[in-house]
Amino acid sequence: MNPLLDQLHPYPFEKLRALFAGTQPPALPPIRLSIGEPQHEAPQRVKQALIDSLGGLSIYPTTIGIDALRESIAAWLQRRFGLKEISAGSQVLPVNGTREALFAFAQCVVDASRPAPLVASPNPFYQIYEGAALLAGAQPLFLNQSAANGFGLDLDGPSAEQWARVQLLYVCSPGNPTGRVLSLDEWRDLFALADRYGFIIAADECYSEIYFDEAKPPLGALQAAQQLGRSNYERLVVFHSLSKRSNVPGLRSGFVAGDAAILKKFLLYRTYHGCAMSQSVQLASIAAWNDETHVQENRVLYREKFDQLVPMLSPVLGVSKPDAGFYLWARTPVDDAQFARVLFAQTHVTVLPGQYLAREARGLNPGHGFVRIALVAGVEECVSAAQRIVEFCQSGKF
């Protein structure tokens, strides 16, 4: 067996099951706010497009995807981020959701023959970043995001020697779990580091379409690059998905876009990896990328949940509305794992301990003392969960 497998940590939800072992929650309807799985209705036009495209199941799909899908994605990128141009032929590649692509990307770009390679990522983080680094033969380098620095990336934490060994930097904006959106100045700093040390930036933007002000969508990485004069998107690849945007996590559909030279190599890797998207899924994906009405309706539901829950939970957990995304990053009055376990045992509401989403780096686990609350259930269910959490916090029975 591959000895690198032994370096992998248990996934957060495995830890959560172990944490809850032996508990007996009350006979209340369970409300699961621990996993970022959208539970809004999938759009009818996408479901119908999938049904109408079932003939595609008899066709071997190509890894690069059909022209119509790449063209619809390129057109969406231009509409959404105001890009002057993006080549559907060389700067866009369909993938089976961002999780698969984020993992595979490290296997493609990391050169394990170089001395002590590093892959940098936020901390807290999406655990795929860490696993991808380890199985590519690199070690993770964590950039703490704490309340002390406004949940920004701690770019000053690593030494110059460490930055010199970084080959890949994962960035998540809007962030998981804080919902923080990187500013243009922060992108300028990241691009300067990438130029100085020669690493690639993988920008995970799967939450980019869940925001609160229709007039102020979150800044994207390609958009920032264009505004800073980096029109060829050097050393930059972005990852997008329909899972959150269109409530179709089971469709497993997304794309990568950016630096054409990098994507050419990534396409070569994927051709051997065997991860082509079904043509039926591609055609359904076109229907999703070509429509914004269902996405706007989706945002209305999330906006309503945040508008109702933040005032309820703020007095007991100190939450505030994030920049974007569908998570609340809530400060706990006791150890976050203890809080999650007792909350489940007393209310049948599931949240995720923040320490499970982070690692100790430079003497700090920035997830300690927080829980992640995913507002993915319906409005009424989320309000019911918030009422139970408030009563639990007010009882002081931790």
Q: Per-residue pLDDT tens, the chain, 398 aa: give them.
A: 999 999 999 999 999 999 999 999 999 999 999 999 999 999 999 999 999 999 999 999 999 999 999 999 999 999 999 999 899 999 999 999 999 999 999 999 999 999 999 999 999 999 999 999 999 999 999 999 999 999 999 999 999 999 999 999 999 999 999 999 999 999 999 999 999 999 999 999 999 999 999 999 999 999 999 999 998 999 999 999 999 999 999 999 999 999 999 999 999 999 999 899 999 999 999 999 999 999 999 999 999 999 999 999 999 999 999 999 999 999 999 999 999 999 999 999 999 999 999 999 999 999 999 999 999 999 999 999 999 999 999 998 88
Q: Are strands 370-374 and 327-331 parallel, antiparallel or unpaired?
A: antiparallel
What domains can you pick out in the chain, each with its CATH number?
Answer: 3-41+294-393 (3.90.1150.10), 44-291 (3.40.640.10)
- Provide the 3-class DSSP secondary structure of residue 46: helix
- Rounded distance between C-alpha atoms, residue 314 and residue 321, angstroms: 9
- Rounded distance between C-alpha atoms, residue 234 and residue 237, angstroms: 9
| H-run or E-run covering 293 | helix 293-317
- Note whether 195 and 160 are within 8 A (CB): no
Predicted TM-score of the model (pTM): 0.96
Single-letter residue type at 242: L
DSSP for 253-284 reads: -EEEEE-HHHHHHHHHHHHHHT-PPPHHHHHH
- Rounded distance between C-alpha atoms, residue 200 and residue 170, angstroms: 9
Point out which residues pair with 240 in neighbouring strands.
255
